[in-house]
């Protein structure tokens, strides 16, 4: 016998998360034509997790990594995208996202609600191998996009290296290789091109 109330709640949630396609991030697509939305961001990182798993510092459960990447920004349906370098917005981010998680994950049946909460908090805390690798990808992806779009967002916002370093501080915790061989060289390239203001040494991280 189908639990119709359960199915109704699940379908309500599935309709609700369609709104993630309407939440636009600060990062541009690689071709620089427009900013990406949260759903595209989640999909892109999930593909990256599949391809780049071998560069995680530790063995990870790939499915769990992908689950975290797919759900971690759902809260932005209510909370909005908080720009990585928006110091004022970052002050209220946790509170806004916690409230959003209560509402959106709360639409689900209790078992799935609790599962979503667990994944969300694990990602945010960043302590497990899966969370560390997922957070690394969340850092690497926008660097790749900025580099591919000739530093478009960095230039528009006048981003300084000290800001970029703070954003990238935990990238190596999930993947030393992706930091050393991908993010760091791309950041250095964009310092050299003048797309990032080199106010400190990149070796600080």
The pLDDT tens digits for 123-169 are 999 999 999 999 999 999 999 999 999 999 999 999 999 989 888 98
**Whole-number percent of the chain with pLDDT over 70:** 95
Residues found in the chain: 205
Return the half-sphere exposure (C-beta side, CA atoms, 13 A cut-off) of residue 117.
17
* Beta bridge mates, 28: 35
Whole-number mean pLDDT of the chain?
A: 94
Q: What b/e readout covers 54-87, taking b as 16+ CB neighbours within 10 angstroms?
A: ebbbeebeeebbbbbbbbbbbbbbbbbbbebbee
- Contact indicator for 30, 149 with CB cutoff of 8 Å: yes
- Contact indicator for 171, 140 with CB cutoff of 8 Å: yes
The pLDDT tens digits for 78-118 are 988 776 666 666 677 888 999 999 999 999 999 999 999 99
């Amino acid at each position: 016998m189908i639990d119709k109330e359960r199915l109704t709640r699940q379908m309500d949630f599935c309709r609700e998360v369609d709104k993630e396609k309407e939440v636009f991030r600060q990062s541009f697509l690689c071709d620089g034509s427009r900013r990406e939305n949260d759903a595209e961001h989640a999909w892109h990182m999930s593909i990256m997790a599949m391809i780049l798993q071998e560069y995680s510092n530790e063995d990870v459960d790939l499915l769990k990594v992908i689950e975290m990447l797919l759900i971690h920004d759902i809260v932005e349906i209510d909370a909005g995208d908080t720009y990585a370098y928006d110091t004022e917005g970052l002050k209220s981010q946790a509170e806004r996202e916690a409230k959003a998680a209560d509402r959106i994950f709360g639409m689900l049946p209790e078992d799935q609600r609790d599962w979503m909460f667990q994944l969300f908090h694990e990602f945010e805390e960043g302590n497990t191998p899966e969370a560390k690798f997922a957070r690394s990808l969340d850092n690497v992806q926008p660097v790749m996009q900025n580099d591919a779009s000739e530093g478009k967002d960095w230039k528009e916002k006048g981003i300084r290296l000290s800001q970029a370093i703070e954003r990238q501080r935990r990238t190596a915790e999930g993947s030393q290789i992706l930091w050393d061989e991908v993010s760091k060289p791309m950041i250095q390239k964009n310092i050299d091109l003048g797309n990032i203001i080199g106010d400190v040494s990149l070796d600080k991280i």
